[in-house]
Amino acid sequence: MRISEATYKQMNNLATLCFDANAIFDNLAYNLDYYYYNRIGKIVHLNIAHVMPEWADMVTDQMLLLGARPFRGAIGSYQEEIKELNEIFAIILKTMAAIRKQCSEMIETADLNEDDEVRIFGEDFIKLTTPFIKQAEEWLNAIGQMTPVELNVHIKEYTNFISAGD
């Protein structure tokens, strides 16, 4: 392994967090669909939840390049029933902020341990979170301005930082 043990742990934590975020966002999408916010649910499912395993794979692929063996850590079981859009959007924001924070900690650890490839990888990776954080903020703002039904109908008009799909 061509990285320090501390950096290895941080990378694996980031990959696990991305896999866990997939489970969180899937549960949010199921709630959205259950409460007939299908247009929002489709965007959350296809354009947020489905991105998370891709991000995890980016991290694990980098680990493998550096001679580290990734493993999938424990993933939570998310069964909460959530009806309020502002709560759903707040969870998206909180989860994306947690991914960003974990990436930042990984960068710091890599820098302290002279794991330059990981530091550079992390600096590129952290940029991926910015549009998702901004998108959650936009949705939180929008739900403060209109009813949930109106936002569901007009969700694509309020999805300006990530893909809104077709």
> pLDDT 10s digit of each residue in the chain, 166 long?
999 999 999 999 999 999 999 999 999 999 999 999 999 999 999 999 999 999 999 999 999 999 999 999 999 999 999 999 999 999 999 999 999 999 999 999 999 999 999 999 999 999 999 999 999 999 999 999 999 999 999 999 999 999 998 6
Instruction: Answer yes or no: is 166 within a domain.
Output: no
Instruction: Answer yes or no: is 164 within a domain.
Output: no
- Structural domain boundaries, residue 28: 5-70+83-158
Instruction: Answer yes or no: is 137 within a domain.
Output: yes
- CATH number for the domain spanning 33: value is 1.20.1260.10
| Angstrom distance (rounded) from CA 107 to CA 130 | 16
The rounded radius of gyration (Å) of the Cα atoms in the chain is 17
Burial class (CB in 10 A: 0-12, 13-18, 19+), 47: middle
Instruction: Say how many domains are in the chain.
Output: 1
| Angstrom distance (rounded) from CA 164 to CA 166 | 7
Instruction: Answer yes or no: is 163 within a domain.
Output: no
**Running DSSP on this structure, what letter comes out for residue 162?**
S
Instruction: Answer yes or no: is 77 within a domain.
Output: no
Instruction: Answer yes or no: is 27 within a domain.
Output: yes
